Structure 1
Amino acid sequence: MAGAGLDANRLNVPEARFPMIGVRRFWRLAIEATGDPLLGLRLGEEVQPATLHGLGLAILACGSLSELMSLVARYATVLSTTMYISLRHDAGGSALVVNTLGGSEMNHAARIAMLAFVYRQACKLSQRQVIPSFVTLGMPPAPGTERLDQYFHVPVTLGAEADAIGFTYADTIEPYASANTMLVGLNEKAIRDYLSRLERSLFSDRVLTQIQDMLPSGEPKLVDVATHLGLSVRTLQRKLRQENQSFQALLDQVRRTLASDWLSHGNLAVVEIGYRLGFSDPSNFCRACHRWFCCSPSEYRQRCLQLVT
């Protein structure tokens, strides 16, 4: 987490969230550290429902696979504000489709974890081996991916357009013996209360994401970010002040994280990295690196290479 620029102390704060850019860097570092390209599958195999706030508890009390899929699709933001999940229906059955804003983390790890978790709960609550009608993943074929086939009990299609899992209608409408409508309702209320509080506290994360999206076109301006978010400049500044943040500090945070990523992993020229971070003058990028890393961009890259060696 330290390597990804994430503050581990925030793990003990129930409503704290981590910026998308840091979480995706964390996934990459974790996959590299474990040497497991399917680390997301391992997470889906092991995560316990009770750790997922009221959503996990509602899942344990739901009445069918159809209700389980609906809960996950409806309340995906409990798990991640950058993940959105949709339900798709056709003549063959229902499917859960997982997407994330601004692309995906390495090897689609978080999406695979979500699909693996849903599948595991489907089998546990049915008290039998449920066989999906299909599983598709956007990650490209790679050595070791046969583990996916073994876990889902069907041939998993890789390099697909969507990360999705499908079930027949017979499986989705089968009633669960553990169903408890009252508990589902109570936990849904807890989820809605939680999301309401979360919505009020995550404005700076929305600004961070917008800054990151706009950087390739040059240095994002406050007025442009405000326009994209449908706000006036004064409203945006006021909302950031309420979270003890400033636009310039968020811009600097995104630039620092991306600079560290691109200098330590990748072959982009230093000048190209500076331009991608919105610095029109290479000397400005060099000064920023001295402020962030106490050295020049080239020196920081060399330092990282030596650490890897």
Structure 2
Amino acid sequence: MTLERREGTVIGGWTVAIARAMDHYGLDTEAIFKACRINLSQALDSNARFPVVPISQVLQAAADASGDANFGLMVAKYIRPTSWHALGISIWASACMKESFERLVRYQRMFNTAIEIQMVQGDSSTEVSMRFKDAYAPVLGDIDMDAIMATALLTCRHVAEGQFRPLGVTLCRPSPVNPEGFERLFRCPVEFASDSNRILMKNDDLERPLPTRNAELAMLNDRLIQEYLTRLDRHDIVNQVYLKLMETLGNGIPDQQQVARSLHLSQRNMQRKLQLAGTSYQEILDQLRQELAPQYLQQSHLSINEISYRLGFSRVGSFTRAFKRWSGHSPNQYRDTISSSRESEH
């Protein structure tokens, strides 16, 4: 399993669905992926995983290029059972929708390591909530959650052969320009600007036997999921360090010993584990800075000094030299390019 970036990752089938949605609009799919540093051909590998931040950039670029602010909803329409590898088959082969969601919660890391999914059952209804982990919330957008929530709901509708209608859906995102698109897809009341992303469902609907149920097939694929997660866990130390750095950047220069201590490791032991994973603390830090810098620079209210501090550089000059090495431009030149591009669109 190849990880191109040392960060949260999403399953390769997600990338394929995004590409097919882009093809639907006649976009230059390969060029957009390439501009976001994603090699689309790798998605053909059933074990491929892709970094969540560049994939989020692909989604936003596709929304801009297609003119469809609700592009995330279109992605959900191209998800198939095999898009989730063995998890998709297990979900479809579950005895009931409640069991499907229990598998999604239990094995959520297989789908996306940057998200947290919870299920809470009440007397007559159950809610499934989804949120991005705190470290990823600032760098993943509404369009990412649109696609994930829509995928969960459409999967329910498919496995129930169209006989599924939730009680309601709430989304943290502000109301879109075209809220009717959400209401058509979800087929229930949709509340925007909520405090959480939730799907509320009747317990009776969740416990109704599924026409696609197959206990033997579900068990076989559960074993495949466990094998997959074992391979994924070999990279877990890398993702833990990346996540911890995202949490601590902005509080001064990252301290390697402090990061190791927070992971209950000695600095030497952490270095050894990272070396076995084929990377180093400095490499992870550099990749994180390289990915966050352009996103911060697009926020015009942040000064170069503030961005430098948020990225953990001791001097603005150090940040400027690093950014020029990454992009070929100084931070100010990059901002001027963005500004000119936006002005040309209006």
Quote the sequence identity (%): 28
Tell me, in whole angstroms, the C-alpha distance in 1 between the residues paired with 2:68 and 2:329.
33
Q: 1:127 aligns with which of 153, 158, 161?
A: 161
Tell me, in whole angstroms, the C-alpha distance in 2 between the residues paired with 1:280 and 1:253.
17
Unaligned runs of 5+ in 2: 1-32
Tell me, in whole angstroms, the C-alpha distance in 1 between the residues paired with 2:162 and 2:39.
41
Unaligned runs of 5+ in 1: none
Q: Equivalent residue for 2:113? A: 81
Q: Equivalent residue for 1:174? A: 208
Q: Is residue 18 from structure 1 mapped to residue 39 from structure 2 by the alignment? A: no
Moved more, 87-96 or 284-293: 284-293
Q: Is residue 44 from structure 1 mapped to residue 73 from structure 2 by the alignment? A: no
Q: Is residue 62 from structure 1 mapped to residue 97 from structure 2 by the alignment? A: no
Tell me, in whole angstroms, the C-alpha distance in 1 between the residues paired with 2:193 and 2:46.
36
Question: How is 1:1-309 mapped onto 2 (pairs within 5 angstroms)?
Answer: 1-8=33-40, 10-102=42-134, 103=137, 105-107=140-142, 109-308=143-342, 309=344
Contact 1:63–1:180 (8 Å) recurs in 2: yes
Secondary structure of 1:183's counterpart equals helix
Contact 1:54–1:190 (8 Å) recurs in 2: yes
Secondary structure of 1:166's counterpart equals strand
**Structure 1 residues 112, 228: closer, same or farther in 2, change over 3 A?**
same
Moved more, 219-228 or 24-33: 24-33
Contact 1:4–1:26 (8 Å) recurs in 2: yes
Contact 1:20–1:209 (8 Å) recurs in 2: no
Residue 270 of structure 1, CA deviation = 1.7
Task: Name the amino acid aligned to 1:155.
Answer: P
Secondary structure of 1:2's counterpart equals helix
Map Cα deviations across residues 69-121 of structure 1 (whole Å, 9 max, x no partner).
Answer: 111111111111111211111123112111221226211x3333333223223
Map Cα deviations across residues 122-162 of structure 1 (whole Å, 9 max, x no partner).
Answer: 22222243211111111111210221111111110111121
Contact 1:27–1:106 (8 Å) recurs in 2: no
Tell me, in whole angstroms, the C-alpha distance in 2 between the residues paired with 1:18 and 1:226.
25
**Structure 1 residues 7, 241: closer, same or farther in 2, change over 3 A?**
farther
Residue 13 of structure 1, CA deviation = 4.5
Moved more, 143-152 or 95-104: 95-104
Task: Name the amino acid aligned to 2:141.
Answer: M
Over the aligned positions, Cα root-mean-square deviation in angstroms equals 2.1
TM-score under structure 2 length normalisation:
0.82
Secondary structure of 1:94's counterpart equals strand
Residue 47 of structure 1, CA deviation = 0.8
Tell me, in whole angstroms, the C-alpha distance in 2 between the residues paired with 1:27 and 1:224.
35
**Structure 1 residues 209, 16: closer, same or farther in 2, change over 3 A?**
farther
Contact 1:44–1:116 (8 Å) recurs in 2: yes
TM-score under structure 1 length normalisation:
0.91
Secondary structure of 2:34's counterpart equals coil
Tell me, in whole angstroms, the C-alpha distance in 2 between the residues paired with 1:43 and 1:220.
37
- Give aligned pairs, total: 308
Contact 2:46–2:85 (8 Å) recurs in 1: no
Secondary structure of 1:251's counterpart equals helix
**Structure 1 residues 290, 215: closer, same or farther in 2, change over 3 A?**
same
**Structure 1 residues 40, 248: closer, same or farther in 2, change over 3 A?**
same
Map Cα deviations across residues 20-65 of structure 1 (whole Å, 9 max, x no partner).
Answer: 4333333333333333232222222221111211111112212211
Moved more, 154-163 or 260-269: 260-269
Tell me, in whole angstroms, the C-alpha distance in 1 between the residues paired with 2:58 and 2:243.
16
Residue 245 of structure 1, CA deviation = 0.9
Tell me, in whole angstroms, the C-alpha distance in 1 between the residues paired with 2:292 and 2:212.
47
